[in-house]
Structure 1
Amino acid sequence: MVASEDLDAVVSAAQAGDEEAFRRLYRAQQPALVRYLRVLVGDDAEDVASESWLQIARDLRKFSGDWDGFRGWTATIARHRAMDLLRAQRRRPQASVPVEFLAEMSAGDDTADRALELVTTDDAVALIASLPPEMAEAVMLRVVVGLDATSTGQILGRRAGAVRTAAYRGLRQLAAKLAQRDPRHPPEPPRSPSRKPAVTTSAAPALKEMR
């Protein structure tokens, strides 16, 4: 993985007209951007991403910020493009859950840990899209795109605290959805916000950060 400091320099180089630097930015950001868009527009994600990159290339010289800021800026452009498409088609963000994906869930996995692992896979995007919209977007922007709560809040027009809560609850609901597909591992009962979730060590830091 390229350090964020290195990508800060790449952003500056791309703004100065370096085509190779722009290609590096594209390769670094495109996968997460497409996954995020799939939650919003489903099969139209690739087309919307392409339109977004055209605008990104056109407006790059006007951008001011580092790599983290660039990620938030591109996500904002992509979201605006997605909303334009949805308004034109008069539909809401939605995606179906592949039956094959649900059938392949391992019964022995800790559900919260499994949920965190799956949010970075293409198949899981459809399952995330079944969450309430505010939770789905918060999970995708925080976990997949990698934005902090403040940047995510700016994109969604919400406070950072509300974003953390939505992302945390979204991950918990995702874990519950996975558990509901396996009768041998029912979902855990609701927990009060003051209690820590019973998850594996690898999952706990990410879940804690979402709060």
Structure 2
Amino acid sequence: MDPLTSAALPERRPDDFDHEAALEACARGERFALRALYEREGRWLLAVAQRIVRDAELAEDVLQEAFLQIWQRAGTFRREMGSGRGWVYTVVRHRALDEARRRRPELSLGDDFEAVAEAAVHHDASPGDDAWPHDEEALAHCLAQLDDPKRQCVIDAYVEGYTHEQIAQRLSKPVGTVKSWIRRGLLALKECLS
């Protein structure tokens, strides 16, 4: 299970679905595989999108656009580079974050945050990039090494899509402290994942 999204998702049964095979079938143009992915993950993916865009109708649009992107880019997924489930969740999360930033520019956390976050979590690659080493165990290990405030701030900002101000308000801490915790947490993740 993707360690970043697992904190944001309701409990679910052990995974017996072959996400990698479904993505490979999508790449071959087998529509049933996209439907199977949607039926398997749609509910949780919608929850992820809604948490980020904070609008149920918009989240449905984001999910539809993300599944179109999954269909179109399934051929870029490589089984040896990481889990299919993690790849699917990343596509949806990135699409939701893009839409949230487009509609609410204040959500943007700054170019340096994005650069560090992308480098830390994706090793300077993105889903569809053949070099994308999505190692969930390594990321979970590195997240566990962070102290609680840093880990929670990174997850709130990068997974949940909260602004620095929203996180500061939730934690009753100054915005500068939250920014510092996020930056230090991401730098520690980047170093740990190197």
The two structures share one fold, judged by TM-score above 0.5: no
Structure in which a larger fraction of residues adopt helix: 2
User: TM-score, structure 1 length as denominator?
Assistant: 0.42
